[in-house]
């Protein structure tokens, strides 16, 4: 393919080239000769930090990305290290899923391991650094208890008992070996996460088998919805692997476009999905036009969606995102409980964040007022 050749000194563009490797229609071409040592060191650092060692190694072994012998050895060493971490995490996944199912807790594997096994031609192309599990809201406390019994330590307390199973995105746990388990009840914190019709996520599933254990995951449309939320709402600057996940699903899976639009409509997440697909197509320089990529280019955010997306931008805190969630909570009773828990959390929650109640309220309200005024 004749495409866009990244210059040797442009490590960002080279990282995008690695992220796009293997996608049909990408106009990003690898360099024609091995990079100089400085350029490769910068690229290698970016590849490792963004967990793209599998994509770089696939490009190298396919003779699509020219490297020196030394560069090949370093790329292989980094990828083997990433695979070793993934194998340890997948053992933890099997153990945790088994414990949940023995306790009668429904569970879905999310993100890295699910996408690796269901969406990529070789699971080794999609490495990951933790495991993400979705459980129903009503089973959240039981899942927390199961993880705690297994010796895992909750990283952050909830504001008040019952807050996480009613309102939060979830909670993170650290294993005795230093690994991380992220327990989810929805896809994101803030207003977009609060509007997802959670019961609908449990209507269907897809499954892969890991070490003889069936691992249930979300169906492809829900996986795509989650991938877009993770890409756009997971950080101020979208990382390349989540954008690759969005493109990977769209370009390799049979996505039901009508069903996807119904999911977006039910969660009022059209703005998130459109932005994620548009970013994936632009960052990975994808030329193929699909129904959803064409829709994302023509989509225009309304004022409310733009304001809600701004809540996830640079400089906004957990408190600001949390206060912005109030409008998205349908029940007045739940609005009151949500606001009360955040305004007057338990002392352990405040001590973890080293702030007083008055300081917390002032900071959250100031950020919300700033966002609403457009400053």
The two structure tokens encoding residue 307: 């304001």
pLDDT by residue for the chain (375 residues), tens only, comes to 345 544 444 778 999 999 999 998 899 999 999 999 999 999 999 999 999 999 999 999 999 999 999 999 999 999 999 999 999 999 999 999 999 999 999 999 999 999 999 999 999 999 999 999 999 999 999 999 999 999 999 988 887 888 888 878 999 999 999 999 999 999 988 889 989 999 999 999 999 999 899 999 999 999 999 999 999 997 667 899 999 999 999 999 999 999 999 999 999 999 999 999 999 999 999 998 899 999 999 999 999 888 888 888 766 666 667 777 877 787 788 878 877 777 777 777 766 655 555 555 555 555 444 544 444
The two structure tokens encoding residue 197: 């019709």
User: Could you give the C-alpha distances from 174 to 92, 120, 130, 154, in angstroms and in order?
Assistant: 12, 28, 10, 6
Q: Which residues pair with 131 in a beta bridge?
A: 181
Q: Which of 98, 93, 289 is nearest to 181 (CA)?
A: 93
Query: Residues 214, 217, 221, 227: what is their CA dihedral angle, to the nearest 10 degrees?
Result: -140
Identify the structural domains of the chain with CATH numbers, from first to last. 11-312 (3.30.460.40), 313-375 (no CATH)
Cα separation, 278 vs 29, in Å, equals 20
Residue 133 per-residue DSSP state? E
Residue 24 per-residue DSSP state? T
Cα separation, 328 vs 201, in Å, equals 19
Q: Which of 126, 131, 118 is nearest to 249 (CA)?
A: 118
* Angle at 55 (CA atoms; ends 313, 132), nearest 5 degrees: 55
β-strands 131-134, 153-154: how paired? unpaired
User: Could you give the C-alpha distances from 89 to 178, 182, 233, 357, 373, in angstroms and in order?
Assistant: 11, 12, 24, 38, 44
Cβ neighbours, 10 Å, residue 87: 11
Give the pLDDT confidence score for residue 327 in this predicted structure.
Answer: 75
Cα separation, 98 vs 104, in Å, equals 10
Cα separation, 53 vs 71, in Å, equals 13
Report which secondary-structure segment, H or E, holds 134. strand 131-134
Give the residue ranges of DSSP H helices in the chain.
Answer: 11-19, 37-49, 53-61, 69-102, 111-118, 140-149, 163-166, 190-194, 220-233, 240-252, 257-267, 270-283, 291-298, 303-310, 318-325, 332-343, 347-353, 357-373
Identify the three-state secondary structure at position 126.
Answer: coil
- Rounded to two decimals, what is the model's pTM? 0.87
**CB-based contacts of 262-267 (< 8 A; 24+ apart in sequence):** 263/200, 263/221, 263/222, 263/225, 264/225, 266/196, 266/197, 266/200, 267/192, 267/195, 267/196, 267/197, 267/225
């Amino acid at each position: 393919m004749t495409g866009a050749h990244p210059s040797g000194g442009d490590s960002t563009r080279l990282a995008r080239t690695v992220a796009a490797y293997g996608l049909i229609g990408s106009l990003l071409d690898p360099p024609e000769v091995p990079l100089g040592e400085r350029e490769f060191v910068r690229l290698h650092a970016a590849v490792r930090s963004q967990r793209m060692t599998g994509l770089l190694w696939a490009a190298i072994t396919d003779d699509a990305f020219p490297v020196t012998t030394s560069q090949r050895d370093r790329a292989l060493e980094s990828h083997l290290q990433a695979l070793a971490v993934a194998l340890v995490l997948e053992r933890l996944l099997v153990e945790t899923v088994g414990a949940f199912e023995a306790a009668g807790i429904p569970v879905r594997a999310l993100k890295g391991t699910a996408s690796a096994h269901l969406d990529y031609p070789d699971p080794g192309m999609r490495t990951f650094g933790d495991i993400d599990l979705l459980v129903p809201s009503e089973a959240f406390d039981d899942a927390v208890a199961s993880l705690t019994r297994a010796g895992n330590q909750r990283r952050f307390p909830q504001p008040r008992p019952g807050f996480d199973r009613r309102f939060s995105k979830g909670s993170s746990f650290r294993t005795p070996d230093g690994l991380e388990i992220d327990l989810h009840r929805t896809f994101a914190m803030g207003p977009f996460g609060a509007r997802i019709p959670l019961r609908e996520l449990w209507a269907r599933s897809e499954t892969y088998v890991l070490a003889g254990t069936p691992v249930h995951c979300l169906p492809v449309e829900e996986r795509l919805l989650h991938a877009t939320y993770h890409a756009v709402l997971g950080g101020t600057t979208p990382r390349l692997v989540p954008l690759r996940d969005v493109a990977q699903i769209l370009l390799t899976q049979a996505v039901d476009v009508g069903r996807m639009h119904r999911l977006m409509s039910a969660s009022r997440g059209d703005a998130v999905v459109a932005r994620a697909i548009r970013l994936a197509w632009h960052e990975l320089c994808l030329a193929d036009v699909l129904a959803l990529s064409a829709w994302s280019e023509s989509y225009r955010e309304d004022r409310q969606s733009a304001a809600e997306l701004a809540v996830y931008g640079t400089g906004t805190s957990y408190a600001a995102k949390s206060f912005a969630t109030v409008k998205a909570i349908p029940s007045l009773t739940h609005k009151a409980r949500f606001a009360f828990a955040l305004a007057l959390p338990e002392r352990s929650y405040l001590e973890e964040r080293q702030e007083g109640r008055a300081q917390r309220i002032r900071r959250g309200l100031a950020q919300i007022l700033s966002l609403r005024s457009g400053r």
